[in-house]
């Protein structure tokens, strides 16, 4: 069975600090996808990144970076120089590869508060 | 923008009444999903569809039914709403990006069952 664990329920940081959100996953599949979504206070779910299981290369997008390590089944998300606009709930999710059908298994989310 | 709308956006209903939520998409996506979001649980899959009249159950399907008579519409029905179904409901589609499929979400429907 698939499972995603986000052990940090809430994190609070001061603006400009770096923060890492942890994600640990479980799956029996050798081919799978990992995702991060952001849910700001307005409530919508915003897609941030997708990573497939064959690509362990870390990715950087502006102040965001992701560290994927199959050896520890982790897909951690780091925000550098955090800003108040980063305040949101962040979800990590996992899906099997099954043609176009990609139902997601979500972690419970981490609420990030960035204080000015 | 994946062209997903949900209606209604907010609804308050009484226990025991039937409720139907609608998800509409404009880009002919084959795969559609219904999730519910509850504090402490993240999002959980209720039902999904892989084509017109083709649907299957997800993790938390009890008390819910779905229908998809047209590609663009995926309906979620609570036959007899209960207070435990108070939640935020999200519809999603699966969209190909190159040879990979990514999932995008509608704006959500906040349902309160009193």
- Cα A11 to Cα A111: distance, rounded to the nearest angstrom: 6
* CB–CB contact B48 A33 (8 Å): no
Render each residue's pLDDT in chain A as its tens digit; 116 residues: 899 999 999 999 999 999 999 999 999 988 899 999 999 999 999 999 988 888 888 888 899 999 999 999 999 999 999 999 999 999 999 998 766 778 999 999 999 999 99
* CB–CB contact B33 A103 (8 Å): yes
User: How close B33 comes to chain A (CA, Å)?
Assistant: 7
Query: C-alpha angle B81/B87/B90, rounded to 5°?
Result: 110
Sorted by sequence, the CB contacts under 8 Å of residue B6 that are 6+ apart come out as B21, B22, B23, B24, B89, B90, B91, B106, B107, B108, B109
For B6-37, the pLDDT digits (tens) are 999 999 999 999 999 999 999 999 999 999 99
For residues A36, A39, A40, A46, the Cα torsion angle rounded to the nearest 10 degrees is 60
Each as own residue / partner, the long-range contacts of residues B51-58 (CB below 8 Å, 24 or more positions apart, any chain) are: B58/A103, B58/B33, B58/B34
Q: Which of A93, A95, A100 sits opposite B96 (nearest CB)?
A: A100
Q: Which of B30, B44, B108 sits opposite A100 (nearest CB)?
A: B30
Q: What is the helix (H) or strand (E) element at residue B104, kind and residue range?
A: strand B100-105
For B53-102, the pLDDT digits (tens) are 999 999 999 999 999 999 999 999 999 999 999 999 999 999 888 777 88
* CB–CB contact A47 B90 (8 Å): no
The CA–CA distances, whole Å, from B95 to A78, A88, A93 equal 26, 25, 16
> How many interchain CB pairs under 8 A, A with B?
65
Whether A41 contacts chain B with CB within 8 A: no
Closest A-chain CA to B100: A100
Location of structure tokens 């990006």: B97
- The 10 Å Cβ neighbour count of residue A64 is 16
- Cα A51 to Cα A56: distance, rounded to the nearest angstrom: 8
- The 10 Å Cβ neighbour count of residue A92 is 29
Give the per-residue pLDDT at A52.
86
């Amino acid at each position: 069975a698939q499972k995603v664990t986000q052990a940090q329920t809430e994190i609070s940081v001061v603006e400009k600090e770096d923060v890492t959100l942890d994600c640990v996953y479980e799956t029996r599949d050798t081919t799978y996808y990992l995702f991060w979504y952001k849910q700001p206070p307005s409530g919508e779910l915003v897609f941030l990144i997708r990573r497939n299981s064959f690509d362990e290369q870390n990715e950087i997008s502006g102040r965001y970076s992701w560290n994927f390590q199959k050896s520890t089944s982790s897909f951690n998300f780091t925000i550098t120089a955090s800003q108040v606009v980063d305040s949101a709930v962040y979800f990590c999710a996992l899906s099997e590869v099954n043609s176009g059908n990609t139902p997601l298994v979500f972690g419970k989310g981490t609420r990030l508060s960035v204080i000015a | 923008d994946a062209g997903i709308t949900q209606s209604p956006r907010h609804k308050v209903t009484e226990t025991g009444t039937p409720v139907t939520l609608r998800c509409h998409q404009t880009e002919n996506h084959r795969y559609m999903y219904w999730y519910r979001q509850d504090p402490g649980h993240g999002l959980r899959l209720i039902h999904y569809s892989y084509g017109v009249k083709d649907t299957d159950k997800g993790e938390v399907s009890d008390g819910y039914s779905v229908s998809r008579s047209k590609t663009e519409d995926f309906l979620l029905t609570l036959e007899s709403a209960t207070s435990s179904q108070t939640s935020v409901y999200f519809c999603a589609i699966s969209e190909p990006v190159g040879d990979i499929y990514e999932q995008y979400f509608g704006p959500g429907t906040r349902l309160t069952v009193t």
